[in-house]
């Protein structure tokens, strides 16, 4: 049995304004613990943590991100074992006027959680809006500042009518399968493919792109050459530290980073674990909370929950110490041996001189008889 509880959450910039968040109590109407949790939530961060722990879930899946408040519920409504792509509405001005587009990622190095690729775009004539919003390298901004900028991009009139964005959330489960599968795909390949797919998505959505700026993966020259072959109609710049050089790349970086942060906050474990992001930390190998989570949540047979990237050496080391050794039979690399006669035996062959070679029939060969042609 489910119980619907209305939670009023104060809007940070308007003290007297409230929004109502309907949530589903997973424990049912008699679950006093869940009702107490729902009634006591005061901030969006607390709401996200409760969703991630599995106590609460959105009643109606959110299919559109219109502010920071809708980001967490949208992500929570998706299957986190698969990739998720989201494209914002395209501002009308981005269809009419030529635009610049930036590409960047977040979460490349962590052992936990998804890697998120993001793009942002705006008209060349409106690029000053990026500076007004405070777009800078997301790694140099505090989490609170990134959240404010992301929210402003989606709620301020001047911003949302000039800037569009999109993200690709690459599941840790997909990363592990690609890197450890029989047909391997490196993280660099996944990164480049995600960037290309997002640019294609923007083009298909009707964005009038003229310039593209990308934070590089690997050698920038090779990456730029590859993109120019795929998108010859654009002026493309691939550079190191592009997120700190080009404001449009900074905007993409902020969208990617905020999306990854909230993906972790609302993470729901298919394995049934009741944990929040405070229990597993930032996901980076150097984080002591993350290392503690890895050592305490490894199954002897099945390994880690699917939030973990099994392909990371940090995870592999823990598995070697605490999990069972598993050996897989590799397919025989030798060519199969056939017991019967090969099909090619039935085709006639010739000598170097062009003479037809005829093999003696089995009846004569078994009786040591020869064909006689001269008498």
Q: Where is the binding site, in residues?
A: 104-105, 215
**Residue 208 has which token pair?**
């009038």
Which residue numbers belong to the known binding site for a divalent metal cation? 104-105, 215
Three-class SS of residue 127?
A: coil
Torsion angle of C-alpha atoms 281, 285, 291, 294, degrees rounded to 10: 90
Please give the Cα distance from 113 to 352 (Å, whole number): 65
Q: Which helix (H) or strand (E) holds 45?
A: helix 44-52
Please give the Cα distance from 178 to 189 (Å, whole number): 10
**Residue 160 has which token pair?**
């949302």
Q: Are strands 115-123 and 164-170 parallel, antiparallel or unpaired?
A: antiparallel
What residues form DSSP beta bridges with 164?
A: 121
Please give the Cα distance from 246 to 279 (Å, whole number): 36
**Residue 309 has which token pair?**
């990237």
Contact predicate 95/189, CB 8 Å: no
Three-class SS of residue 123?
A: strand
CB atoms within 10 A of CB 250: 29
* Count of all residues that appear for the chain in the document: 375
Closest of 259, 306, 254 to residue 280, by C-alpha: 306
Contact predicate 43/231, CB 8 Å: no
CA angle 371–373–375, rounded 5-degree value? 115
């Amino acid at each position: 049995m489910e119980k619907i509880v209305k939670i009023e959450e104060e809007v940070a910039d308007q003290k007297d304004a409230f929004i109502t968040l309907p949530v589903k109590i997973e424990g049912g109407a008699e679950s006093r613990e869940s009702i107490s949790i729902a009634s006591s939530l005061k901030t969006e961060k607390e709401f996200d943590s409760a969703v991630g722990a599995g106590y609460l879930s959105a009643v109606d899946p959110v299919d559109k991100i219109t502010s920071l408040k809708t980001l967490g519920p949208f992500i929570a409504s998706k299957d986190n074992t698969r990739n998720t792509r989201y494209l914002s509405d395209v501002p009308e001005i981005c269809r009419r006027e030529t635009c610049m587009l930036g590409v960047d990622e977040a979460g490349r190095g962590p052992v936990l959680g998804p890697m998120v690729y993001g793009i942002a775009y705006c008209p060349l004539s409106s690029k000053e809006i990026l500076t007004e919003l405070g777009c800078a390298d997301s790694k140099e901004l505090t989490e609170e500042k990134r959240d404010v900028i992301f929210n402003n991009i989606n709620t301020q009139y001047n911003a949302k009518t000039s800037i569009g964005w999109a993200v690709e959330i690459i599941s840790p489960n997909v990363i592990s399968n690609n890197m450890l599968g029989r047909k391997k795909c490196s993280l660099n390949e996944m990164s480049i493919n995600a960037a290309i797919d997002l640019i294609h998505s923007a083009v298909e959505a009707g964005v009038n792109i003229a310039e593209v700026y990308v934070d590089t993966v690997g050698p920038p020259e090779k990456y730029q050459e590859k993109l120019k072959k795929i998108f010859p109609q654009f002026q493309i710049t691939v550079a190191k530290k592009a997120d700190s050089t080009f404001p449009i790349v900074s905007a993409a970086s902020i969208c990617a980073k905020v999306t990854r942060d909230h993906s972790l906050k609302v993470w729901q474990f298919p394995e049934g674990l009741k944990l929040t992001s405070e229990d597993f930390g930032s996901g980076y190998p150097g984080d002591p909370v993350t290392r503690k989570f890895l050592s305490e949540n490894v199954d002897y047979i099945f390994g880690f929950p699917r939030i973990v990237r099994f392909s990371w050496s940090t995870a592999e080391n823990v598995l070697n110490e605490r999990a069972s050794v598993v050996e897989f039979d590799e397919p025989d690399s030798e060519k199969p041996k056939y017991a019967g006669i090969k099909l090619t035996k039935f085709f006639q062959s010739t000598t170097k001189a062009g003479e037809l070679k005829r093999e003696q029939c089995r009846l004569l060969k078994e009786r040591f008889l020869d064909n006689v042609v001269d008498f």
